[in-house]
Amino acid sequence: MTSGRATPGTTLDAGDALFTMQLIRYFDERVVELYNQKLVRGSAHPYIGMEAIATGIISALGDQDLITSTHRGHGHCLARGLDPSRMLAEVLGRKSGYCRGKGGSMHITAMEHGMLGADGIVGGSHAIAVGAAYASRLQGRDTVVACFFGDGAANEGSFHEACNLASVLDAPVVFVCENNGWALSTRASSTMRIDDISTRAAGYGFPGVTVDGNDVHAVRAAADEAVARARSGAGPTLIEAKTHRMSAHSAFATGETSTTEELAAWAERDPIEALVRRSISTGELTDEAVAETRVRARAAIEAATEHAVNDEQPDPETAFEDVYASSHWTKEMRLA
Amino acid sequence: MTSGRATPGTTLDAGDALFTMQLIRYFDERVVELYNQKLVRGSAHPYIGMEAIATGIISALGDQDLITSTHRGHGHCLARGLDPSRMLAEVLGRKSGYCRGKGGSMHITAMEHGMLGADGIVGGSHAIAVGAAYASRLQGRDTVVACFFGDGAANEGSFHEACNLASVLDAPVVFVCENNGWALSTRASSTMRIDDISTRAAGYGFPGVTVDGNDVHAVRAAADEAVARARSGAGPTLIEAKTHRMSAHSAFATGETSTTEELAAWAERDPIEALVRRSISTGELTDEAVAETRVRARAAIEAATEHAVNDEQPDPETAFEDVYASSHWTKEMRLA
Amino acid sequence: MSENMMRTISMSEALNEAMHEEMERDDRVFAIGEDIARNGGLFGVTKGLLPRFGAARVIDSPISEAAISGAGVGAALVGSRPVVELQHFDFVTLAMDQLVNHAAKWRYMSGGAVTVPLVVRGPIANGVGLAAQHSQSLESWFVHTPGLVVIMPSTPYDAKGLLKAAIRDDNPTLMLEKRLLYTRTGEVPTGDYVVPIGVADVKREGDDVTVVAISGGVPLALQVARKLEPEGIDVEVIDPRTLKPLDLDTIVTSIAKTGRLVVVSEGARAGGYASEVVARVIDAAWGSLRTAPIRVTAADTPIPYAGPLEREVLPQVHDVMTAVRNVMEKGRTQHVAV
Amino acid sequence: MSENMMRTISMSEALNEAMHEEMERDDRVFAIGEDIARNGGLFGVTKGLLPRFGAARVIDSPISEAAISGAGVGAALVGSRPVVELQHFDFVTLAMDQLVNHAAKWRYMSGGAVTVPLVVRGPIANGVGLAAQHSQSLESWFVHTPGLVVIMPSTPYDAKGLLKAAIRDDNPTLMLEKRLLYTRTGEVPTGDYVVPIGVADVKREGDDVTVVAISGGVPLALQVARKLEPEGIDVEVIDPRTLKPLDLDTIVTSIAKTGRLVVVSEGARAGGYASEVVARVIDAAWGSLRTAPIRVTAADTPIPYAGPLEREVLPQVHDVMTAVRNVMEKGRTQHVAV
Ligand SMILES: Cc1ncc(C[n+]2csc(CCOP(=O)(O)OP(=O)(O)O)c2C)c(N)n1
Ligand SMILES: Cc1ncc(C[n+]2csc(CCOP(=O)(O)OP(=O)(O)O)c2C)c(N)n1
Ligand SMILES: [Mg+2]
Ligand SMILES: [Mg+2]
């Protein structure tokens, strides 16, 4: 029910997309509330205002495809169809969480959804995406990997190495740069002297394209092309989706960043409202359908909250599990 | 006597350039001979065939300027005016070597010549060049830093980060990519899908230019422009100098790489012979001047060899010196 | 004298003062890091530097840990005194090549021709639920890197004095700051002072057991010392402050008195700093030891997110308590040379 | 049986056989690294793989240590078994983030949802005059990284069997190979065998002194054992082979017999693997020790270039000899519990 996963070749289903985007919005609003209630440890990074990107890209993927994610990863997970209850349980560090409470917000992983893992290291998953894509192909699958990352991450050396490696390997990767204008408290414009991050693709010999990251249809169109290219064996594409971070950087780091004017201007371009306006004007959705979708999304978040806050804390002894894989490894060996 | 260091604004002196290039050629031929006589430990990477690059670039620098170098660094050092005797002593691990025998071929450093150090880590000095350039400017000097590196190094993440950082800091750096077609046994064409590495500059918002790396005048012209730009505060430039590695990768790793045809074609374009032909045709040099220059260069190498092979081995106890700077650090503390 | 007036301030305030004073004192000092200028650093260590010293000396960098560390090396080589902030110390994994293969070795490889007066500092955020990639206490890697100085302060006083000493020192120095200590307060004099590098501090004198503790281990050890006082167990707490070079003399002198050693550090157990302290004490003070030293460390697991799990793997007061009781008990049957 | 026929081959040949056999046996195995395909690797470990298994499974990578390690993690996550070569192990400084923050932790952070069957291997080139950036024995960093398995073979037999075991193991495994051992020869059977991970090997039995030696330390220790035989000093040489997890039992059993310990490793002294072995033995075998264990290690300096300097800082036969004589001498005055 939660999925924005369309069959490749189909067009974006407005109702599905709206549901996904609204679910992401409600989820991350709830996470911030729970953080403020001290139920979330560490930090959590809301995807608010960026929902069209995960939704548009992931809707272009098939079941066999994979994604890598970031510290700001809830949106990618939800768009990929992860269970919000188990996600929220993880964010709260509970037993039924996707990582049994070991990962928290920044490390949600769900192989059964082709979600290779969120990553607390900025730029840390670029190369992982390349390796997963290449190896899947080597194993005879026609997997495509969507690799999400921020504008800030595009300045890490890992971006460069991974793009170049993907290029020479013709790895089926779609690099998705979510340019939300900020890296924490620092403006993208002050850490790079280019207008479009997509221009960097030329340095690796593959296509780069910049799209309106608040327009889920535009994102989807770019994704369709990039996914088809990757799947055909022609190699990677860099999609830069321009958007804006409408929330604070994180639940922990709440210092002001954008100006009031900027926020107001971008609020006008809220990706959810934009999708609603468009869908109603094309007749794809009715007001009632929109309202009903929101109620459904809200209900899913309420159910997830109910589940997560009542879920058990993990047993302390489980802290010593999962360090190593082999079943013959003793506790003594794990501590060795 | 040994210098190719022209006053900025002047044009390339053909005689000086020829001397420098010939000195580099003889020096590295001698190093390979000494390696084969087991007088050189580890390895050494000849700059043979690439002499026009170091010579052209460094001739555009002034005394206050700085360079960073690579594993293939002898050419940069000689062009910068280092003493071939002390260089060769270092290559042989002797007492009078630039590093007192601690560095060897890959680590020759001479602050008094603005030579910040060769580097055994491919791509290791990109950021060092940026920091040295920026800090020099911060201290009120109008230093320019030339940062040498190979085509292989352009695939390290350090290249990307340093270029971007230099760009946003307007650091006075000239990035000089010596594209000799090879990284050890691997062709540049198989590890990147672009024709010109200089195209990567666009990703950082500064100019990139490709020049014939076997034409010392062309290199010099590009350097003049880049140095002027950097000195004026307008920021970095990437110069890609296309050349060919005429020798084996190193004295140690001698496996075949280039085809016989390639080597023959590039031999036709030998940078020293090209300079001689041109200088004679323009009347800048006579046959006699050329011959005399070669004799002088040869003599310098003979004298350097005489010095180095007869120089003392370092005292073993000196191995414990130079780990830390402060004079109050005891040996016990150094070993702590 | 007003210059020596004592105030109670937090460790992040103390570090911030050190930055202000050193940048004022020496215009070769500059600061670079992620979010350190406009935002004053995630934990306030660089607060107020931007308006006071300007954007040329207080730089919000791109997210490029390798490049800012390498730029620090280059700047240091030409005579500047850069202070590089790693937003979390775990990100040093991206800067290892610049710190280990460059900063630490450049002087040595050049035969002493250059100096690298670089400071790299940042927080260790264990204990707050930031999970495995933001909670590592990696000091032992750098202790294992000849050429580096490694500092871990446990009090505001030490933090300020050591940061000032590090900035003035000609060696590449890493300072690892436990984030949960940032908000702890302590007495710090106004005015200039330095805490010398390489000198341990006896945080509490005692006759029965020597506890060598670093960083977050120090408050744990002091708490245990207070709790055991009523039982008549007299704990001496030594904070090396500088991990490399280690002030072994102070430790050996203490063990000559107590005959018993517990080492507390928050890094993973295997290959951790506690192992190094034990190995060095075995070299230097074997004859003084009444019983085997005990290491109290983090478990050999990555740091988990959930509270009950994180507390399970990080050293707690009761772990230190148990260790101290243990060496007391076992140390009653003394080893002697026959 | 021809499958167990013994031949004398070099360690690089043994490693090369392991690669051939495992790539033949399991098509999920692939190799990536700098100059490993066309050139067969700088030291021949990947020789002949390209013509046999093709360019898709034997990849000459760009010079991008972080990306190839990270790609290894990604490939392992989806079920491949990548073997990544670092051309020299010192370049691991560029891959630390992928190995430490990703490979080592991915399984744990996911609560056991994933496995990372990755092998990263490469040479340590100390002793050949390649100087500070090409000579580091950095094993102790990885021993300090929960989630990693760390292997250092000292013989062709162990090298082949351990590489095969590592490739089949589901954990991220680092194998550090001393370059000067590549050309040393030893008996290796034809046909398939593995050397189990986590099991030490007693390379020589003896009653008087336990020498725990790894990698290049093993031939040193064996040489010393032979030299001291005529003096009636009977040296037991234990090669842990797997550094993490350590087979402590074998060591403790030996010390119960000898009462004396010398540890030989070629990494820098402070924070090195020898310190870890000493600390663990102190925990587990305090009562058996007649005298303080002695560590024989590299000095706390970067590795210098010139021969006389490099020999001065790296452990030599005479250093091991002195240490063994020392524990023999001191261990005569035995510590006992009173
Ligand atoms: C290697 C690394 N450096 C720094 C950080 C701290 N950090 C976390 S998020 C962030 C900003 C990332 O910006 P961007 O990539 O644009 O992603 P966004 O947060 O805008 O989605 C920073 C600096 C980190 N987690 N990892
Ligand atoms: C980080 C790192 N990776 C690998 C090596 C091994 N290595 C030394 S030189 C070299 C090739 C470098 O190629 P390039 O940058 O083109 O320089 P060239 O040798 O052609 O001058 C390699 C792979 C190294 N020294 N450092
Ligand atoms: Mg951003
Ligand atoms: Mg090259």
Beta-bridge partners for A175:
A147, A238
Residues C180 and C234 occupy one common structural domain: no
Among A94, A109, A122, A331, the strongest candidate for a mutation testing the D interface, having the largest count of D CBs within 10 A, is: A109
Say which of A164, A191, A203 has its CB closest to residue B199. Answer: A203
Question: In the listed set C160, C189, C218, which residue is the last one of a domain according to the structure?
Answer: C189
Contact D62 B152 (CB under 8 A): yes
How many residues are listed for chain C in this entry?
338
Please count the CA atoms within 13 angstroms of the CA of D128 that sit on its side-chain side: 21
Question: E strands of D148-260, at which residues?
Answer: 149-151, 173-178, 185-189, 201-204, 209-213, 235-239, 242-244
Residues C180 and C316 occupy one common structural domain: no
Domain containing residue C169: CATH number: 3.40.50.970
- Tell me if B8 is assigned to some domain: no
Name the residue with the closest Cα to ligand 2, atom 19.
B183
Rounded (5°) CA angle C119-C117-C180: 15
**D194 belongs to a structural domain:** no
Q: Give the structural domain span for D81.
A: 6-189
Calpha distance D141→D146 (Å, rounded): 10
Where residue B253 falls among pLDDT bands split at 50, 70, 90?
Answer: confident
The confidence band for B8, taking pLDDT boundaries of 50, 70 and 90, is: low
- What's the confidence (pLDDT) of residue D4? 76
Provide the CATH number for the domain around residue A225. Answer: 3.40.50.970
Tell me whether strands D119-124 and D81-85 are parallel, antiparallel or unpaired. Answer: parallel
Provide the domain count of chain A: 1
CA–CA separation, D269 and C31 (whole Å) = 33
pLDDT digits (tens, 9 = 90+) for D150-160: 999 999 999 99
Residue B4 lies in a domain: no
Contact C133 A119 (CB under 8 A): yes
What is A201-264 written as a DSSP string?
GGGGTS-EEEEETT-HHHHHHHHHHHHHHHHTTS--EEEEEE----S-S-SS-----S-HHHHH
Find tokens 């709830």 and name the residue: A30
Distance from CA of D89 to the nearest CA of B (A): 12
- Whether residue C196 is contained in a domain is answered as no
Q: Are residues C112 and C253 in the same domain?
A: no
Q: Judge whether D238 lies within some domain.
A: yes
* Model pLDDT, residue D113: 96
C88/C27 same-domain check: yes
Please tell me the predicted confidence (pLDDT) of residue B7.
52
D182 and D227 in one domain?
Answer: no
Provide mean pLDDT across the span C16-44: 97
The region, left, alpha or beta by phi > 0 then psi within -120 to 50, assigned to residue B177 is beta
Distance, in angstroms, between D5 CA and closest chain A CA?
A: 30
| B328 pLDDT more than 50 | no
pLDDT in tens, B159-182: 999 999 999 999 999 999 999 999
User: Within a domain: residue A3?
Assistant: no
The neighbour count for residue A5, using CB atoms within 10 Å, is 20
Residue C274 touches partner D, C-beta closer than 8 Å: yes
- The whole-number pLDDT of residue D327 equals 97
pLDDT tens per residue across span A206-234: 999 999 999 999 999 999 999 999 999 99
Final residue of a structural domain among C189, C222, C237: C189
Q: Do C46 and C175 lie in a common domain?
A: yes
pLDDT band of residue B329 (cuts 50, 70, 90) is: very low
Residue C134 is a catalytic residue:
yes
Q: Are residues D119 and D232 in the same domain?
A: no
pLDDT of residue D302: 98
Same-domain check for residues C236 and C300: yes
Looking at residue B334, its pLDDT comes to 39
Q: Is residue D338 one of the residues assigned to a domain?
A: no
Please report whether residue D1 resides in a domain.
Answer: no
Out of D159, D189, D219, a domain closes at D189
Assigned domain for D34 exists: yes
- pTM, 2 dp: 0.97
Output the ligand 1 site: residues, CB below 6 A. A 71-72, 120-122, 150-153, 178, 180, 182-184, 245; C 34, 63, 65, 87, 91, 94
The rounded distance, in Å, linking the Cα atoms of C224 and C324 is 8
Measured between beta carbons, the chain B residues lying within 8 angstroms of C149 are 324
| Nearest Cα to Cα of residue C262 among C238, C226, C240 | C238
Length of chain D: 338
> Picking from B1-15, B186-200, C228-242, C249-263, which range would have the lowest pLDDT averaged per residue?
B1-15
Q: Give the residue-averaged pLDDT of C200-209.
A: 98
Average pLDDT of chain C is 96
| Closest CA in chain D for residue C99 | D93
How many Å lie between the alpha carbon of A92 and the closest alpha carbon of chain B?
36
Residue C1, in any domain of the structure: no
The answer to whether B186 contacts chain A (CB < 8 Å) is: no
Regarding whether D305 and D216 lie in a shared domain, the answer is: yes
Percent of chain B with pLDDT over 90: 92
Question: In which domain, by residue range, is A260 found?
Answer: 14-335
Q: How far apart are CA A194 and CA D293, in angstroms?
A: 60
The torsion angles phi and psi of A173, rounded to 5 degrees, stand at: -120, 140
- Determine which of D63, D86, D89 to mutate to test the interface with B (most B C-beta atoms within 10 Å): D63
pLDDT at B255: 77
The pLDDT of C248-253, averaged and rounded, is 98
Question: Does residue A322 lie in a domain region?
Answer: yes
DSSP C245-278: S--HHHHHHHHHHH--EEEEEEEESTT-HHHHHH
How many structural domains is chain C composed of? 2
Strands D185-189 and D6-10: antiparallel
Mean pLDDT of A287-309: 98
Domain membership of residue C116 (yes or no) is: yes
The active-site residue, picked from C20, C88, C102, C134, is: C134
Does residue C103 carry a pLDDT above 70?
A: yes
Tell me: the pLDDT tens digits for B273-295?
Answer: 999 999 999 999 999 999 999 99
Query: pLDDT value at position C333?
Result: 57
- CA distance, residue B249 to nearest chain C CA (Å): 22
Q: Rounded distance, CA A147 to CA C176, Å? A: 32
Beta-strand pair C29-33/C58-60: parallel
pLDDT reported for residue B1: 32
Q: Is residue B277 assigned to a domain?
A: yes
On whether any CB of chain B is under 8 Å from the CB of A203, the answer is yes
pLDDT per residue as tens digits for the range A136-150: 999 999 999 999 999
Q: Which of D20, D88, D102, D134 is catalytic?
A: D134
Give the contacts of D268 (CB within 8 A, at least 6 positions apart).
C144, C145, C146, D136, D137, D297, D298, D299, D300, D301
Q: Flag whether pLDDT at D226 surpasses 90.
A: yes
Closest-CA residue, ligand 1 atom 5, reads A122
Mean pLDDT of chain B: 94
SS3 C4: helix
Do D246 and D182 lie in one domain? The reply is no
Query: Looking at residue D3, what is its pLDDT?
Result: 58
Statement to judge: residues D205 and D185 lie in one domain: no
Question: In whole numbers, what is the pLDDT of chain D averaged over residues?
Answer: 96
Q: Which residue has a Cα nearest atom 21 of ligand 1?
A: A150
Considering the domain boundaries, does residue A7 fall inside one? no
CA A156/CA D71 separation, integer angstroms: 16
CATH of the domain at C241: 3.40.50.920
- Tell me, yes or no, whether B34 lies in a domain: yes
Closest CA to C8 of C159, C189, C177: C189
**What is the share, in percent, of chain D residues with pLDDT greater than 70?**
97
Over residues D168-185, the mean pLDDT reads 98
- Across the interface, of A110, A124, A130, the residue whose CB is closest to D71 is A130
Q: What integer pLDDT is reported at residue B326 of this predicted model?
A: 74
Q: CB distance A169–D59 less than 8 Å?
A: yes
